[in-house]
Amino acid sequence: MRKKIIDLPRLIDLMSCAPARIFNLPGGTLRAGSPADITLLDLDTRFQVTNTFRSKASNSPFIGETLQGRALATIVGGIVQYDLRVPAPPRAAKTRKRKR
């Protein structure tokens, strides 16, 4: 977005409103009565990507890169699912399935 390839309203439409329309979902809007699915962004923060993800993924082509803009919090159905201020829980050790 910093290079002005796409502006914020268009990005929001492409990533939220349009998928809701295409799949006939009730979200994609902030109208009263709609699901409270919201991501709060800080478009100015710069940060370095590490491999401390809050998902099962442990790799990314962006590890070590410095990026600008990040999600501060994600609210799904009115419940906070992600908050950058809350440390991620420790990840369980990965195990391999034994061949039999």
Residue 60 has pLDDT above 60, yes or no: yes
Q: Does a structural domain hold residue 21?
A: yes
Look at 58 and 71; give whichever has higher pLDDT: 71
Residue 96 has pLDDT above 80, yes or no: no
CA distance 37 to 54: 18
Q: Does a structural domain hold residue 94?
A: no
What's the number of domains the chain is made of?
2
Residue 93 has pLDDT above 80, yes or no: no
Does one domain contain both 80 and 51?
A: yes
Does one domain contain both 23 and 40?
A: no
The parent domain of residue 24 ranges over 1-30
What are the strands, taking DSSP E only, across 11-65? Answer: 38-48
CA distance 94 to 87: 20
Encode pLDDT of 68-81 as tens digits: 999 899 998 889 98
pLDDT band at 92 (very low <50, low <70, confident <90, very high): low
Distance from CA of residue 59 to its chain's centroid?
16
Does one domain contain both 71 and 56?
A: yes
Cβ(1)–Cβ(8) below 8 Å = yes
